[in-house]
Amino acid sequence: MKPEASREQPAVALAETGGGTQQRAAALRLRPLRALLPFVAPYGRQIALALLLLLLAAAATLSLPFAVKLLVDGGLALPPGSELGERLLAIREHFLGLFAVAVVLGVTTAARYYMVSWIGERVTTDLRQAVYAHVLRQSPQFFETLKSGEVLSRLTTDTTVIHSAVGSSISMGLRNIVLFAGGLTMLVSTTPRLMLSVAGIIVLFVLPAVLISRRVRKLSRASQDRIADTSGIAGEILNAISIVQSYTQEDAEAARFSAANEKAFATSIRRTGTRSAFTAFVIIGVFGSLLYGLYGGVQAVLAGEMSAGQLSQTALYVMLVAGSVAVLAEVWGELLRASGATERLMELLSLRSPIAEPAMPIALPAPAGGLCVTFEQLRFAYPARPAQPVLQGLDLTIAAGQTVALVGPSGAGKTTVFQLLQRFYDVSEGVIRIDGIDLRRPRLAELRRRIAVVPQEAVIFSGSIADNIRYGRPAASDEETRAAAAAAFVDEFVQRLPAGYATFVGERGVRLSGGQRQRIAIARAILKNAPLLLLDEATSSLDAESERVV
């Protein structure tokens, strides 16, 4: 039976409103990333260990300039009358100390990298699984309005961006915050008045940096959306490639994809350009300010107010702080991009299916050969057209074991009845009862386990013929599988295949004919052996002989 023309659904509410966009753009504190906390929290011990390693690595890094100061003042600056051996011994001790610091730095950095990479991989895996499981439980309204490519983009591209943030950027950010704070503290303790003036100059760069970063985040979200558009187009066309080629629309579809791809490129380049400007602005401002402070240190050495070792220490801390700022600017851009990706994923996780599980579910009675189905004063209209009911005043009782055929023109509501029986939608008025129980009272899984369906267009999964027949009953034995296949006339063509029931059918069963796919779908329903069997023109793809046998 063909789906009704009135089956159009409203768009899923995933688009941003103008006010929401402005509010989120104003929320500069990476607020969407807080939604990742439930996925990060279970790994508190690993995070604590990573933080400890991070602090140890940062401490080792911060100790290097001080060790160089000791080398210059204690090893190279010995009194002129000192013996050469004495001078070399002092220098050797300092270099051994530097090597020990390098060993600590190398070990802690490697261990930190492993731990944060593990956390990033684990969090991303959990997030991807949670989003996918949530999407699978959405109502048909969701799947009929959102392209599969859009969902795939969020599951792949967006989670990859988040993996980069959790598994690398956040760790790098924390490390460089510690280095920045520690280096600046050492600089202030060495030349307090000079460095306080430098800090005042740096503050002047904060406001412009905030304005630029706001723009970066907005473009990051737009860039992810454009990438999802290209994924949606590609997924739709590849799933219908035979039709595209039959109507010679290859060039037109390539042009459509190219236009979307160019839009994604343009948006990405705008984001990259803005982010590059942000990075350059921060580096130039902070590095220039620190060079001003270093220049003051040189003047202090010439005036005899600072030793050469202190100047060396100051120079290294200046380089450390400036390098940390450069890295933080990069990390900030990555986090802004991850923030946009997190928003998109959380939009999926925040969706609630209109087909809710009952608050107090009622168990269906054990089936005894069939189910009694009753429609009482049924009225139903699709959500997109509430004023145009597809079914109106339907009263029908189907006794257990009875076979009933629904006959009517396209759009009369035949497929709608099947969808309502599986509770893909809830009725607008009236009630559907299964063995006297309101269809909305049992759990969805329990209800649907009692139903086997053969759709008009057979759905075949990538795998073997046996895997597809067992889809509704994975634990079925080989004998049961072959018996169901024989009943659906599947064994007629399987016997001619070299691999038999282990034959790989390809994605969506592309290696099979339409009739063969339909027979496998019928065998799947037979093997499930559910009390209620729904056949939606199940033999429409079969020839007369096959239909007679089935």
Q: Is the dihedral of CA 433, 434, 435, 441 positive or negative?
A: negative
Question: Given 434, 449, 464, which residue is the final one in a domain?
Answer: 449
Place of tokens 């190398």: 106
Q: Are residues 400 and 526 in the same domain?
A: no
Q: Is residue 12 part of a domain?
A: no
The pLDDT, as a whole number, for residue 4 is: 40
* pTM attached to this predicted model: 0.71
Closest Cα partner for 313 from 61, 64, 69? 69
Q: Are residues 485 and 415 in the same domain?
A: no
Q: Is the dihedral of CA 140, 141, 143, 145 positive or negative?
A: positive
Q: Coil, strand, or helix at residue 323?
A: helix
Q: Are residues 148 and 60 in the same domain?
A: yes
Q: Is the dihedral of CA 137, 138, 139, 142 positive or negative?
A: negative
Q: Is residue 116 part of a domain?
A: yes
Per-residue pLDDT of the chain (550 residues; tens, 9 = 90+): 333 433 333 333 333 333 333 334 434 456 888 888 899 999 999 999 999 998 898 888 888 888 777 777 665 555 555 555 665 666 777 777 778 888 888 899 889 888 988 998 899 889 988 988 888 888 887 877 777 777 887 888 788 888 888 887 888 888 888 888 888 888 777 777 666 666 666 666 655 666 666 666 667 667 767 777 777 777 767 766 656 766 677 788 888 888 888 888 888 788 777 777 777 776 677 667 767 766 776 777 777 777 777 777 777 777 777 777 777 777 877 787 788 788 888 888 888 888 888 889 888 887 777 789 999 999 998 887 888 889 998 899 999 888 898 888 877 888 889 989 999 899 989 999 998 899 999 998 899 889 899 988 888 888 899 999 998 898 999 999 999 999 988 988 898 989 999 999 888 888 888 888 889 999 999 999 889 999 887 666 666 666 666 5
- Tokens representing 427? 């009725």
Q: Is residue 5 part of a domain?
A: no
Question: Given 387, 415, 449, which residue is the final one in a domain?
Answer: 449
- Output the 3-class SS for 193-254: HHHHHHHHHHHCCHHHHHHHHHHHHHHHHHHHHHHHHHHHHHHHHHCCHHHHHHCCCHHHHH
Q: Is residue 140 part of a domain?
A: yes
State how far the alpha carbon of 70 is from the alpha carbons of 74, 99, 179, in Å: 5, 14, 20
Q: Is residue 10 part of a domain?
A: no
Q: Coil, strand, or helix at residue 505?
A: coil
Contacts 24+ apart (CB under 8 A), 256-261: 257/230, 257/233, 260/226, 260/229, 260/230, 260/233, 261/230
Question: Under 8 Å CB-to-CB from 454, ≥6 apart: which residues?
Answer: 518, 521, 522, 524, 525, 533, 534, 535, 536, 538
Closest Cα partner for 168 from 83, 275, 50? 50
Q: Are residues 211 and 264 in the same domain?
A: yes
State how far the alpha carbon of 393 is from the alpha carbons of 2, 379, 386, in Å: 22, 6, 15
The pLDDT, as a whole number, for residue 303 is: 75
Q: Are residues 464 and 432 in the same domain?
A: no
Q: Are residues 415 and 308 in the same domain?
A: no
The pLDDT, as a whole number, for residue 243 is: 64
Q: Are residues 158 and 210 in the same domain?
A: yes
Q: Are residues 282 and 417 in the same domain?
A: no
Q: Are residues 425 and 459 in the same domain?
A: no
The pLDDT, as a whole number, for residue 431 is: 94
Q: Are residues 229 and 201 in the same domain?
A: yes
The pLDDT, as a whole number, for residue 67 is: 76
> What is the phi-psi region of residue 463: left when phi exceeds 0, alpha when psi lies from -120 to 50, beta otherwise?
left
60 CB burial (10 A radius; 0-12, 13-18, 19+): buried
The pLDDT, as a whole number, for residue 18 is: 37
Cα(178)–Cα(185) distance, integer angstroms = 10
Domain count, the chain: 3
Q: Is residue 26 part of a domain?
A: no
| CATH number of the domain within which 237 lies | 1.20.1560.10
Question: Given 449, 472, 505, which residue is the final one in a domain?
Answer: 449
| CATH number of the domain within which 381 lies | 3.40.50.300
The pLDDT, as a whole number, for residue 258 is: 84
Q: Is residue 358 part of a domain?
A: no
Q: Are residues 528 and 485 in the same domain?
A: yes
Q: Note down the domain range covering 101.
A: 34-350
Length of the chain: 550
Q: Is residue 93 part of a domain?
A: yes
Q: Are residues 135 and 279 in the same domain?
A: yes
C-alpha angle 380/382/386, rounded to 5°? 80
503 CB burial (10 A radius; 0-12, 13-18, 19+): middle
